[in-house]
Structure 1
Amino acid sequence: MNKFMEVLENFLLPIADKLNNNRYLTALRDGFMVALPLIIFGSIFVVIANFPFLDRIISEDAYAAYQNALGPASAATLSIMGLFVIVGIGYKLTQHYGLDAIYGGVVAIAAFLILTPQVLEDVSGVIPTSTLGAEGMFLGIFTAFISAELYRFFVNKNWTIKMPAGVPDSVSRSFSALIPITLTLTVFLVIRVVFSYTKYDTVQNFIYTIIQQPLTELGSGLIATIVAVLLIQIFWFFGLHGQIIINSVFDPIWYALNDENLQAFQAGSELPNIITKQFVDSFLVGMGGSGMTLAVVILIFIIGKSRQTKELGKLGGPSGLFNVNEPIIFGLPIIMNPLILIPWLLAPVVITIITYFSMATGMVPRPAGIIVPWTTPVILNGFLATGNAWQGAVLQAFNLVVVMGIWWPFLKILDKSYYESEKNDKKNDSDSKRKEA
């Protein structure tokens, strides 16, 4: 066991450190965080617009009017979420370089729109909303990175307009950004023109065909998801925030898959994907946090004998209900504790497989593309994530029992060791007092 842990530590920790400190992955992660409040807002109204049985309670016309009234909430947020992510990435990466971040955000969005097809069914000057969402996600990410780097390059070359003293700061900043922005956007305009002479016609088509589609197909598979889940658990075991590290890589894929499901759900079509952002967030993380440790808290109340575990259960229970599990991770502890390495790695993999095949066989509806806030308690979380389907709630409850079964013998051993240690400490204290008397 020690040799295995040493190999993992020597191999994975340097990789994790590089990923965690990579400026592009950090900007990508933070860019999604900028968009998250808007995404959640749109998701809330998708849930409200699709209350179960509402279409049976009111007339067909009233139901259509109700959905049309709430539709703009998701259309203005979820359907064009790529735009918010692009602004966030451009802003955060430019901020990392110590430059005026707002111009990094606006140049990123302008560069993306230059590369985006502006024709819809032979009508020019119209941008399809699909290109502003999942379909354009990867192009937007690359565009944000490149535009921020070009903007930084031109600013560092000092190719800026210097305004005389006394000019208001806002005016001076605008003129300082003028030449770098002009040169950056000119580069993207040239790229657009060049691609118009290729078989792909647009950069959008090129990125989607060569990069996004293959990566999305890979990321939507069970094996890739298991690998991602395992890495999250391993990084956490060594004290690193596994979700932040792995999500930085997988979020563009999972969000794109999520958006495809949302569009199908709103259209009343069959949902195309099982693995999505919400598959991971609701049926793995959304059950007490990483490693689904709400099951551990419940077990503590059932089998815990030691004072340490009982107190930990009281401390970690309330926060665990809302998927915050740092008290368990650091208090049990999970970090660098070989006694719990097996259930810590095994349980999420088993649950991933159970959830995947439950949805693949149609027993449970697939995630509807609705972004459920990560602090939403278990059961309700599964209900909302599957488009207000009771099967999602039942699956979460079943998964919780499975995780408890996996953890039971290991937590029993850990609790027994704490209990014996506490008994020995108590006995030693009694002996010491008797000698003093």
Structure 2
Amino acid sequence: MFEKFERIMNKYLTPVANKIDSQPHLNSVKRAMVAMIPFLLLGSFFAIIPAIPGMLGKGNAISNWVEANSEILNLPVTLSLGFIGLYVTIAIAYFLAEKRKLYVPGAILLTSISFLLLTIQFDKNGLVIIKNFGTKGMFTGIFVAIIAVELYRFCTNKKLTIKMPEGVPDFVSSSFELIPSTLIVVGTFIILRMVFLKTTGGLLPDLLTRMLSPLVGSMDNPYAILFLHFMKMLIFFFGIHPSVFGPIVGPIAVKFLGENIEAMKAGQPLTHIFTNGTSSAFFGFTGAGITIGVVICCLLSKSKRYRKIGQISLFPSLFGINEPILFGAPIILNPIFFIPFVFGGAIVGTLPFFLMKYGFLSKPIFDPPYVGVFLEGFLTNFDYRNIIAQVIQLILAVAMYYPFFKILEKQELRKENEKQKSNEIFSKEDEDILDDLDLDF
């Protein structure tokens, strides 16, 4: 039964997942989301600082310094999260142009001005309104980057360029060759801006917000997150890395974090639970599948082999690296671990999201770097209860893997006993041969 299911997965799902992962547009979006991590860390860190007077109380030296320098302390937040949509646009343009073997500076410039054409607004005094440059404009940035780069590629392939004479420096000829592409790309996005304003009364970010609200809103539902985690565990079990979902859920996670930080700064309630930080800290607690349960079972095993695997896997697991146990036990493609890894890993990995949704844990305001178990979870929202939730995850992980591990351990102990008996037999035969040789001598 399992072998038949495995064949079906390998025949139909694996090729699709591989195509998704290698598809140029989706791959560029995924890489761009990863490139945003430093900006998210910067914005998250500086967004926390203004809350210090509320935690320490007013009138002390630290609180006074924070309040006196609030303008400069808010600037990194504005310049990181406040422009994250523009940065995503530039990053996608860079990676996609690189894949298409285009002139990268030209692609970035064309994409940037195209993004501004679809997002920029002005107040009655003629000052720029930047609200569409942040998380609200991120999906617009994805759309713009793909269209602008592909238009540039079309112009290049059709030779719609100005050819300069030989001997002209490359940086000069590249700029002149870009002129027809610039006219075509910019002209296209000017027309698009006019169309959106005429037909919808607003710009593309407003339209996309309305269109994508059901999909985006569903990711604040822990049951939707549970389904996503189940799908990740299912494909991971068959050797397909869950990062293939990155281009779909990555932008949503970044958007949610930015909106939570904006709400915190405004003194409003936080609404979102799904961010890259919570996904890494809770779903990826000791590695996808909460595989610390298997590591602990290995450490306590009667089998020499599994004790050794547990010792090797323990330290990496504390930093979310679980490849040693995934392929050492093994867990991947091992029918015995299918139920606890796929179903158990999804359920236990989603448990803290339910707790956040129903108010038992604080909602996230920070995407911490990989700093190890417990600390990473605490830093997502600076709530000590996260540590308790992760201890519960650890206990549940051991409990769900233990009965299945005992089946595997029993098989391994049988092999070790047979090997030991075989060695004893050979040792006895060697002794008899030596005795015979001594007698002959």
Q: Residue 296 in 1 paired to residue 299 in 2? A: no
Are the counterparts in 2 of residues 34 and 84 from structure 1 also a CA contact under 8 Å? no
Aligned residues between the structures: 428
Q: Give the Cα separation in 2 of the matches to 1:261 and 1:361.
A: 16
Moved more, 330-339 or 418-427: 418-427
1:406 aligns with 400
Are the counterparts in 2 of residues 27 and 89 from structure 1 also a CA contact under 8 Å? yes
Q: Give the Cα separation in 1 of the matches to 2:42 and 2:115.
A: 24
Q: Residue 319 in 1 paired to residue 313 in 2? A: no
Give, in angstroms, the shift of residue 320 of structure 1: 1.4
Give, in angstroms, the shift of residue 163 of structure 1: 2.0
1:372 aligns with 368
Q: Give the Cα separation in 2 of the matches to 1:168 and 1:62.
A: 53
Q: Give the Cα separation in 2 of the matches to 1:9 and 1:57.
A: 64
Are the counterparts in 2 of residues 91 and 103 from structure 1 also a CA contact under 8 Å? no
1:207 aligns with 208
Give, in angstroms, the shift of residue 49 of structure 1: 5.3
C-alpha deviations, 1:385-423, integer Å up to 9, x for none? 01x121222222222222222112112222232222122
Q: Give the Cα separation in 2 of the matches to 1:57 and 1:95.
A: 54
Are the counterparts in 2 of residues 222 and 356 from structure 1 also a CA contact under 8 Å? yes
Q: Residue 5 in 1 paired to residue 2 in 2? A: no
Are the counterparts in 1 of residues 29 and 92 from structure 2 also a CA contact under 8 Å? yes
Give, in angstroms, the shift of residue 58 of structure 1: 2.5
Q: Give the Cα separation in 2 of the matches to 1:176 and 1:354.
A: 55
Q: Give the Cα separation in 2 of the matches to 1:351 and 1:296.
A: 14
Q: Secondary structure of 1:197's match? A: helix
Q: Give the Cα separation in 2 of the matches to 1:127 and 1:360.
A: 33
Are the counterparts in 1 of residues 336 and 408 from structure 2 also a CA contact under 8 Å? yes
2:335 aligns with 338
Are the counterparts in 1 of residues 90 and 145 from structure 2 also a CA contact under 8 Å? yes
2:43 aligns with 42
Are the counterparts in 1 of residues 226 and 346 from structure 2 also a CA contact under 8 Å? yes
1:86 aligns with 89
Which of 1 and 2 has greater Rg? 2
2:275 aligns with 276
Give, in angstroms, the shift of residue 86 of structure 1: 0.9
Are the counterparts in 2 of residues 254 and 277 from structure 1 also a CA contact under 8 Å? yes
Q: Give the Cα separation in 2 of the matches to 1:356 and 1:269.
A: 20
Residues 171-186 of structure 1 correspond to what in structure 2 (within 5 A)?
A: 171-186=172-187
Q: Give the Cα separation in 1 of the matches to 2:88 and 2:6.
A: 37
Q: Give the Cα separation in 1 of the matches to 2:292 and 2:70.
A: 36
Q: Give the Cα separation in 2 of the matches to 1:44 and 1:332.
A: 39
Q: Give the Cα separation in 1 of the matches to 2:125 and 2:277.
A: 35
C-alpha deviations, 1:45-102, integer Å up to 9, x for none? 3455555833468365434235544322222112221222111111111111111223
Q: Which runs of 5+ in 2 are unaligned?
A: 432-441
Residues 138-153 of structure 1 correspond to what in structure 2 (within 5 A)?
A: 138-153=139-154
Q: Secondary structure of 2:199's match? A: coil
* Amino acid paired to 1:124: G
Q: Residue 381 in 1 paired to residue 365 in 2? A: no
Q: Give the Cα separation in 1 of the matches to 2:201 and 2:34.
A: 32
Cα distance, 1:66–1:363 mapped onto 2, change above 3 Å: farther
* Amino acid paired to 2:216: T
Q: Secondary structure of 1:292's match? A: coil
Are the counterparts in 1 of residues 229 and 346 from structure 2 also a CA contact under 8 Å? yes
Q: Give the Cα separation in 1 of the matches to 2:69 and 2:396.
A: 40
Are the counterparts in 2 of residues 364 and 392 from structure 1 also a CA contact under 8 Å? yes
1:253 aligns with 252
2:219 aligns with 219
C-alpha deviations, 1:280-331, integer Å up to 9, x for none? 122111x112112233323322x22212221212222221111111111111
Q: Give the Cα separation in 2 of the matches to 1:45 and 1:436.
A: 73
Are the counterparts in 2 of residues 238 and 336 from structure 1 also a CA contact under 8 Å? yes
Are the counterparts in 2 of residues 135 and 256 from structure 1 also a CA contact under 8 Å? yes
Q: Give the Cα separation in 1 of the matches to 2:90 and 2:159.
A: 24
Moved more, 146-155 or 394-403: 394-403
Report sequence identity in percent.
30
2:386 aligns with 392
Cα distance, 1:72–1:55 mapped onto 2, change above 3 Å: farther
Cα distance, 1:56–1:321 mapped onto 2, change above 3 Å: farther
1:24 aligns with 25
Cα distance, 1:11–1:222 mapped onto 2, change above 3 Å: farther
TM-score computed with the length of structure 1 as normaliser: 0.91
Q: Residue 117 in 1 paired to residue 120 in 2? A: yes
Residues 151-166 of structure 1 correspond to what in structure 2 (within 5 A)?
A: 151-166=152-167
1:126 aligns with 128
Are the counterparts in 1 of residues 313 and 324 from structure 2 also a CA contact under 8 Å? yes
2:438 aligns with none
Give, in angstroms, the shift of residue 352 of structure 1: 4.4
Are the counterparts in 1 of residues 138 and 251 from structure 2 also a CA contact under 8 Å? yes
Cα distance, 1:9–1:75 mapped onto 2, change above 3 Å: same
Are the counterparts in 2 of residues 116 and 127 from structure 1 also a CA contact under 8 Å? no
1:357 aligns with 354
Q: Secondary structure of 2:295's match? A: helix
C-alpha deviations, 1:262-282, integer Å up to 9, x for none? 211232321011223322122
* Amino acid paired to 1:397: V
Give, in angstroms, the shift of residue 338 of structure 1: 0.5
* Amino acid paired to 1:213: S
Q: Give the Cα separation in 2 of the matches to 1:50 and 1:372.
A: 18
